[in-house]
Amino acid sequence: MKNKVLETLYEKKGKYISIDEISSELEIPASSVYEHIKSLINEGYSIESYSDNEFKLDEELTLILPHKLKNELNTTYIGKEIHYFREVDSTNEVAKRLAQEGAAEGVVVIAESQKRGRGRRGKPWISPLGGAWMSIILRPDTLPINAPQLTFTAGVAAADTIKEEYGLDVGIKWPNDILIENKKVCGILTEISTAIDSIDYIIAGIGIDANVDLDLLPPELREHTTSLKNELEKDISRMILVRKFLENFEEMYNEFNKGNFRNILNRWRKYSKTIGSKVEVRTGTKIVKGEAVGVNSEGALILELKDGSLKKMISGECRHVEDLNRTI
Amino acid sequence: MKNKVLETLYEKKGKYISIDEISSELEIPASSVYEHIKSLINEGYSIESYSDNEFKLDEELTLILPHKLKNELNTTYIGKEIHYFREVDSTNEVAKRLAQEGAAEGVVVIAESQKRGRGRRGKPWISPLGGAWMSIILRPDTLPINAPQLTFTAGVAAADTIKEEYGLDVGIKWPNDILIENKKVCGILTEISTAIDSIDYIIAGIGIDANVDLDLLPPELREHTTSLKNELEKDISRMILVRKFLENFEEMYNEFNKGNFRNILNRWRKYSKTIGSKVEVRTGTKIVKGEAVGVNSEGALILELKDGSLKKMISGECRHVEDLNRTI
């Protein structure tokens, strides 16, 4: 209901609306409208009050409206339940808590910003306003060993969405960074909870620098990061972005569940910017250098080393070297 | 000049034209027009005579007209000299002879049909009327070890041409068979003559089943072969096909000569139907089975064997297995 209050304010954004109006529109007592507004202000929404009876939402603010998103979403089970926040520590953490409490497959957590967003290998993921930060709870009926395949599945869904919706020429850096001309625009963090030999739940976390203003990023990140806004030179509708991504993801995840990971991987291969590049893959303290010549059916990267021998990298952090004279 | 006589007959095909008319149009003596026509008849062109003074070319016949092709061809050096035949044993053999006699880089040999067309590994290549059978003489300034890369270069040029010109969804089977939905539509045979440590010449032979009627093929080939005509359900202009191919090839060959084979190989990878498939590769008497996981920078196929080990196949005959329940 709090989100419905928010959406009512949002529809009139920039203009004052009285508690009574909201109360009669949503058919809830004025007192609870007031409580919801206080709670929204506490969460960080920019809401101005006039004589404690009329309120208005910041005119400049664009929000992902969860009810509107859910109504327009053309999926069967992904995003049928959306948990939406102004700010969280990390959507993956919220999704994990929900999963532990028994949330169903397909539940989505979305936040306008994250205070402690996380990337792969424990790195922080800077998540200011303007991005699309979300996590999906999955409960696939497959062995834990296949879980990394979901990272590729989410990567292809994200690449497809950005390519189809905005016509941008996207690539994927192994295993799952979505790039536009060698700059990262989207990252994926898949986390798994297993119970003995089965998967309890998987959290697929996706962060897209949609309308992120690159000035909000630390200088060391700016050089290797871009946003859809930066590429297109205009704001995009994050609501459409999230909706299309969830629709594409459901379709791809169905493919995965049908055992068609090979098809997903073949699509991944077509996006790959890593295959054919010279790379350095860091695993723990070791660095392996070579030319990436392929990925196997599980998504492991195949390197050809200087001596001509071949090496399989199951995981690691990959850096492209000698690619357009820059490293990423 | 013989080809000019042919083209004059072709322009009026189905209608009689007198020796005198041809003579005055081409400004050559009537006696030599007559000699050229006799020679064309000997070569197998379907030319009817009326009182030994008037001749007509079979109305149904469509030809690749070398002069017209050359005039429209937008290249710098590929196809600036075209040797055109009604029928030859093999365009690669003719090109080899020309190269040995000193023919320049870019000389092209085209035939309407081949009596003894050859494919890879000494296999016959059935080349009836309606196909585009051609060979290009190349003299690249590179080491013999790099010659196989030209096979990939020609393959990408052929795939691009078929995709761009006819909108067909083409793929490539390693190393260089062009497929439409797992049926072969084009093959490439690259032959090399080396002098000690340098390349004397390379013949790039390309055969495209353009308007080939599949009924003309032996039954055992039909199942795995298609033609552009068969896919599009109409005849295509082989003149445009050959022209576009030669233009694409020159562009791609220039990339090769600039040392950008990596870019060509990345385009090849996007067309690859082999990567991600289970395959059997036959080399001599040995057969290696595995899953194709990539190609290295020289175009060698990387297989992952059943035990998880990786194996590099420099050359061989590749068969896809378990791909759409059929083998090719």
Q: Mind listing the pLDDT tens digit for each residue in B226-276?
A: 999 999 999 999 999 999 999 999 999 999 999 999 999 999 999 999 999
Residues of chain A contacting B152 with CB distance shorter than 8 Å? none
A66-80, B43-57, B310-324: range with highest mean pLDDT: A66-80
Instruction: Note the pLDDT of residue A300.
Output: 94
Instruction: Note the pLDDT of residue B284.
Output: 83
Instruction: Note the pLDDT of residue A328.
Output: 45
pLDDT tens string B159-214: 999 999 999 999 999 998 999 999 999 999 999 998 878 899 999 999 999 999 99
The answer to whether position A22 is within a domain reads yes
Q: Percent of chain B beyond pLDDT 90?
A: 59
CB contact under 8 A, B275 and A265: no
- Do A19 and A80 reside in the same domain of the chain? no
- Do B267 and B283 reside in the same domain of the chain? no
CB contact under 8 A, A275 and B265: no
Structural domain boundaries enclosing B312:
278-321
CA B49/CA B17 separation, integer angstroms: 10
CA B21/CA B112 separation, integer angstroms: 26
Chain-centroid distance, C-alpha B64: 13
> Is a pLDDT exceeding 50 seen at residue A135?
yes
- Do A19 and A100 reside in the same domain of the chain? no
Residues of chain B contacting A276 with CB distance shorter than 8 Å? 262, 265-266, 269, 297
**Nearby residues of B72 by Cβ (< 8 Å), 6 or more positions away:** B239, B243
Name the β-bridge partners of A186: A178, A208
* A77, A189, B69, B218 from A106: Cα distances, Å: 5, 16, 59, 54
CB contact under 8 A, A293 and B291: no
The answer to whether position B326 is within a domain reads no
Name the pLDDT band for A324 (thresholds 50, 70, 90). Answer: very low
Sign for the pseudo-dihedral over CA of A256, A259, A263, A268: positive
Residues of chain A contacting B291 with CB distance shorter than 8 Å? 296-297
| Both tokens assigned to A61 | 């603010």
Residues of chain A contacting B266 with CB distance shorter than 8 Å? 275-276
Task: Determine contact: B287 vs chain A, CB below 8 A.
Answer: no
More confident residue, B50 or A90: A90
CB-based contact B271:B171 (threshold 8 Å): yes
Instruction: Note the pLDDT of residue B237.
Output: 92
CA A132/CA A62 separation, integer angstroms: 12
CB-based contact B248:B161 (threshold 8 Å): yes
* Nearest by Cα to A2 from A73, A86, A91, A78: A86
Task: Determine contact: B276 vs chain A, CB below 8 A.
Answer: yes
> Is a pLDDT exceeding 90 seen at residue A124?
no
What's the structural domain count of chain A? 3
Q: Is the pTM of this model over 0.90?
A: no
Name the β-bridge partners of B48: B56
Instruction: Note the pLDDT of residue A174.
Output: 94
- ∠ CA(A287), CA(A292), CA(A297), 5° rounding? 105
Indicate the burial class of B296 (C-beta count within 10 angstroms; 0-12, 13-18, 19 or more). buried
- Could you count the other beta carbons within 10 Å of the beta carbon of residue B55? 23
Residue B186 three-state SS: strand
- The per-residue DSSP string of A146-205 comes to GTHHHHHHHHHHHHHHHHHHH---EEEETTTEEEETTEEEEEEEEEEEEETTEEEEEEEE
CB contact under 8 A, A276 and B270: no
How many angstroms away from the CA of B287 is the closest CA of chain A?
20
The answer to whether position A121 is within a domain reads yes
CB contact under 8 A, B302 and A293: yes
Residue A99 three-state SS: helix
Residues of chain A contacting B265 with CB distance shorter than 8 Å? 276
Sign for the pseudo-dihedral over CA of B140, B141, B144, B146: negative
- Do A171 and A293 reside in the same domain of the chain? no
Residues of chain A contacting B308 with CB distance shorter than 8 Å? 312
Q: Strands A108-114 and A82-88, how do they pair?
A: parallel
Nearest residue on chain A to B292, judged by CA atoms?
Answer: A296
Task: Determine contact: A295 vs chain B, CB below 8 A.
Answer: yes
> Is a pLDDT exceeding 60 seen at residue A31?
yes
Mean pLDDT within A286-291: 94
- The per-residue DSSP string of B275-296 comes to TTSEEEEEETTEEEEEEEEEE-
Mean pLDDT within A188-203: 90
Report the residue of A145, A163, A310 to disrupt the B interface, i.e. the one with the largest count of B CBs within 10 Å: A310
In a 13 Å sphere around the CA of A238, the CA atoms on its Cβ side amount to 24
> Is a pLDDT exceeding 70 seen at residue A263?
yes
Question: What CATH number is given to the structural domain containing A205?
Answer: 3.30.930.10
How many angstroms away from the CA of B109 is the closest CA of chain A?
34
At B323, the amino acid letter reads: D
CA A244/CA B206 separation, integer angstroms: 43
* Nearest by Cα to B186 from B165, B161, B216: B161
Mean pLDDT within B111-128: 82
> Is a pLDDT exceeding 80 seen at residue A252?
yes
Task: Determine contact: A260 vs chain B, CB below 8 A.
Answer: no
Instruction: Note the pLDDT of residue A46.
Output: 80
Name the pLDDT band for B58 (thresholds 50, 70, 90). Answer: confident
Instruction: Note the pLDDT of residue B326.
Output: 38
CB-based contact A26:A35 (threshold 8 Å): no
Q: Strands A54-57 and A108-114, how do they pair?
A: unpaired
Name the pLDDT band for B325 (thresholds 50, 70, 90). Answer: very low
**Facing A293 at nearest CB: one of B270, B291, B296:** B296
pLDDT tens string B266-302: 999 999 999 999 999 998 889 999 999 999 998 999 9
- Do A189 and A309 reside in the same domain of the chain? no
Q: Write down the mean pLDDT value for chain A.
A: 90
Residues of chain B contacting A266 with CB distance shorter than 8 Å? 275-276
Q: Percent of chain A beyond pLDDT 70?
A: 97
The answer to whether position B328 is within a domain reads no
Residue B219 three-state SS: helix
- Do A267 and A286 reside in the same domain of the chain? no
> Is a pLDDT exceeding 70 seen at residue A54?
yes
The answer to whether position B288 is within a domain reads yes
Task: Determine contact: A265 vs chain B, CB below 8 A.
Answer: yes
Residues of chain A contacting B269 with CB distance shorter than 8 Å? 269, 275-276
- Do A114 and A177 reside in the same domain of the chain? yes
What is the interface pTM, i.e. ipTM, of the complex? 0.71
- Do A136 and A190 reside in the same domain of the chain? yes
Mean pLDDT within B63-68: 84
> Is a pLDDT exceeding 50 seen at residue B99?
yes
CB-based contact B275:B296 (threshold 8 Å): no
Q: Percent of chain A beyond pLDDT 90?
A: 59
CB contact under 8 A, B269 and A269: yes
Choice among A92-96, B126-130, B140-144 with the minimum mean pLDDT: B126-130
The answer to whether position A254 is within a domain reads yes
The answer to whether position B327 is within a domain reads no
Mean pLDDT within A160-181: 95
Instruction: Note the pLDDT of residue A168.
Output: 96
Question: What CATH number is given to the structural domain containing B297?
Answer: 2.30.30.100
Backbone angles phi, psi at B281, to 5 degrees: -115, 120
Task: Determine contact: A270 vs chain B, CB below 8 A.
Answer: yes
Question: What CATH number is given to the structural domain containing A53?
Answer: 1.10.10.10
CA A303/CA A288 separation, integer angstroms: 9
Report the residue of A145, A163, A293, A322 to disrupt the B interface, i.e. the one with the largest count of B CBs within 10 Å: A293
Mean pLDDT within B314-319: 90
- Do A225 and A284 reside in the same domain of the chain? no
Residue B55 three-state SS: strand
Size of interface A-B (CB pairs under 8 A): 51
User: Can the peptide bond before residue A219 be classed as cis, meaning omega within 30 degrees of 0?
Assistant: no
Instruction: Note the pLDDT of residue B327.
Output: 42
Residues of chain B contacting A270 with CB distance shorter than 8 Å? 270
* Nearest by Cα to A61 from A81, A79, A40: A40
**Facing A295 at nearest CB: one of B262, B265, B293:** B293
- Do B282 and B267 reside in the same domain of the chain? no
Instruction: Note the pLDDT of residue A259.
Output: 92
The answer to whether position A326 is within a domain reads no
- Do B47 and B156 reside in the same domain of the chain? no
- Do B46 and B73 reside in the same domain of the chain? no
